[in-house]
A and B are shown apart, each in its own frame.
Chain A
Amino acid sequence: AQSVAQPEDQVNVAEGNPLTVKCTYSVSGNPYLFWYVQYPNRGLQFLLKYITGDNLVKGSYGFEAEFNKSQTSFHLKKPSALVSDSALYFCAVRAAYSGAGSYQLTFGKGTKLSVIP
């Protein structure tokens, strides 16, 4: 079974400081990894994904994520946080194979990011 862990329920960071939201995963074989953001009373918005290739993936709104296969991690980062980045962030994983149930995306429980002015 595949799973995602986001070890921090909440992350607080000062505006202008770098931010990191942590994610570790477990799948059989190679992973496809995703980050989504959810603003209050809205649906999830796609930020970025890792499929293959360069371990550093760049996405929307200045976010990036680093894939580390040995540590089974896919941490979300941004060099300089904005107050408008305050939201709920979800990491998700899917096994990179084609078979029964392979369409299923497993989400972490989410991390609330608060950027303090």
Chain B
Amino acid sequence: DAGITQSPRHKVTETGTPVTLRCHQTENHRYMYWYRQDPGHGLRLIHYSYGVKDTDKGEVSDGYSVSRSKTEDFLLTLESATSSQTSVYFCAISESLQGNYNEQFFGPGTRLTVL
């Protein structure tokens, strides 16, 4: 999985509790992404980062925040988890070249269950 780790790999939590997922890369890639995968929806982008402290919203950003204080780490926070945020979360990275057509490499995923 291309030098990308995600932690935790599995988590069960209760509605209303805060949750932070961590993505760590050893590839020194500039871009990092958080996706969620749900049956019938494929992968949907939550937030992405194009550098340290540079982030932007994706398609389904409501209820999520992110932070990137170092090149290698990208954190996804659910401030108050809801059952609709039960999903599998994937982190991805990509390198930066002119035209930005580089493929993304994905981590192993975190399965989050909100009860």
List residues of A whose CB falls within 8 A of some B CB. 4, 32, 34, 36, 41-46, 49, 51, 90, 94, 96, 98, 101-105, 107-110
Contact = CB atoms under 8 A, between A and B. Distances in A.
Contacts of A45: 106
Interface residues of B, number: 27
Contact of B101 (A36, A49, A104): A49
Nearest 4 Cβ contacts at the A-B interface: A43-B106, A109-B42, A107-B42, A107-B43
Contact of B104 (A41, A105, A110): A105
10 contacts: A4-B42, A32-B101, A36-B106, A44-B43, A44-B92, A51-B99, A90-B42, A107-B44, A109-B42, A110-B42
Contacts of B31: 103
B103 A43 contact: no
Instruction: Tell which of A4, A49, A103, A107 has the most Cβ of chain B within 10 Å.
Output: A103
Given A43-B90, A103-B50, A34 B103 contact: yes
A108 B101 contact: no
Contacts of A32: 101
B40 A109 contact: yes
Given A43-B1, A107-B42, A108-B42, A102 B106 contact: no
A57 to B, nearest CB: 12
Nearest to A44: B106
A53 to B, nearest CB: 12
